[in-house]
Homo-oligomer: A and B are copies of this chain.
């Protein structure tokens, strides 16, 4: 539970977001809709910048990741394979008296609908036993609304990546290890959306599935598997890396990403899930947490998911999800028999464990696992996966919370005014530069300011403002998080001598300092700072 001071801070942030057009309640004029939020002009730019930076960092700047953009509605079979149809649910209790429906784990907190002085568990209403309530939004595709037409809005973007794994592999000239990245909307019918945009029913994810060789294949090829214990710290990707090093590598990459867009390391925490907290398919999961005013909460989870997902889709679709690895096949042939047997056995055990866990009968599981392990000799295996999965909306909220600061200015007469500065990293800031003629009624200033604006605009988001005192205009840009303001003044026109002609005042948001820069040099000065 956040302390009152933190609650006050959140209130201020929510109010600023509405006032400056970062975030609005969805359908506000109709009283809103619980768990849905819209991004206004500044919020939409902020979000675009963050998604674009993620995409650039994860795909375009790397050799080993390809992109994907899949649909939100997919075959319902996908959600059977992933386990979401069977288990993606909260247990709910119905009260037959008040007709309310409540999460079973919250009946000791939630007030009764008829007697709010009592909790649901204390009231006398007759209650049903807990029943599973699936969190996927359901709809029907096609003209007939029957069982066969049921479809779901995806509760995560990851599964599309697994379902299209083979298509991407075959068309992208990648080979394992490589990743597939996707950004897109996902939906969860949360019973209790809360903490502003942090837990919403409609949200956006940025997910990478990074496919790696199983450790047995690495060992066959490289002779031994590097682990954090043997190798310590990941430097350049290495052919000998096992899943643990790949996992650690991605944790560090992702933290670098957050630092690179302005979340200091001190605002982040790394949380290694305990064995009993891990999802059944996960070998390890690290949560990257951010210190929100309402508590320290997850921004991203980085899970080592073994070969669970591809295996499930292979079982459910009947389509092979394994890859062929020439290097493994060659290496295998050169291994001594005992080594082959040892690797075979370990791979077999892992596959059998997976199959039995997934409900395959023991005899069939042994048979299938044998076949899987026999594949190694032919260079075949099902890749394992490391999944860095980030939430866009909670990252936007983290960036706003982190950027929020107040300063108090006191004027000559001792009158104080407190105002907000959003200290966004220039890379994510919605507006990169404010361009302002000192006075709007001097055509020479206006003409020059428009020239400067038009010179910068093809390269970055510019806000042109000629209204009000220059101090007011700076303050407005501070509140929007604009890192730089450029003012065109009489010096620019050459009225204070040749030296200052065609220079502008560049004012820095965070310390208010000003410097003069030549118009001809301005773009080159700004560009590396805002990209």
A-to-B contact residues, CB < 8 Å: 18-21, 24, 26-45, 47-48, 52, 55, 60-61, 63, 66-75, 77-78, 92, 101, 133, 137-144, 151, 153, 160, 163-164, 166-168, 171-173, 185, 187, 189, 191, 201-202, 313, 316-317, 319, 457-458, 461-462, 464-465, 467, 531
Contacts and interface: CB of A to CB of B under 8 A. Distances in A.
B74 A33 contact: yes
Nearest to A48: B55
A39 B20 contact: no
Chain B CB within 10 A, most for which of A27, A187, A458, A465: A27
A73 B33 contact: yes
Nearest to A145: B138
Contact of A36 (B33, B41, B55, B71): B71
Nearest to A317: B29
B37 A71 contact: yes
Given A61-B457, A141-B33, A41 B172 contact: yes
24 contacts: A19-B171, A24-B167, A26-B75, A26-B160, A27-B74, A27-B78, A29-B163, A32-B75, A33-B73, A36-B71, A38-B68, A40-B172, A41-B67, A41-B171, A44-B67, A44-B68, A47-B69, A48-B55, A48-B67, A63-B464, A72-B72, A72-B202, A137-B139, A173-B467
Nearest to A320: B29
Chain B CB within 10 A, most for which of A33, A78, A160, A462: A33
Nearest to A457: B61
B21 A151 contact: no
B171 A38 contact: no
Contacts of A48: 55, 67, 69
A139 B141 contact: no
Contacts of A75: 26-27, 30-33
B202 A164 contact: no
B92 A68 contact: no
Interface SS, A side:
mixed
A105 B142 CA distance: 17
Given A21-B171, A68-B44, A71-B202, A92 B138 contact: no
Contacts of A66: 21, 40-41
A164 B44 contact: no
Contacts of A465: 173
B38 A141 contact: no
Contacts of A313: 29
B167 A27 contact: no
Contact of A171 (B32, B40, B47, B317): B40
A201 B144 CA distance: 15
Given A73-B33, A187-B73, A457-B61, A40 B201 contact: no
Contacts of A40: 66, 68, 164, 167-168, 171-172
Nearest to A191: B143
Contacts of A137: 73, 139-141
Nearest to A167: B24
A435 to B, nearest CB: 11
Given A45-B67, A68-B44, A168-B21, A26 B142 contact: no
Nearest to A432: B60
A52 B49 CA distance: 11
Given A36-B74, A38-B69, A73-B202, 6 more contacts: A26-B70, A39-B68, A73-B187, A101-B143, A138-B140, A153-B153
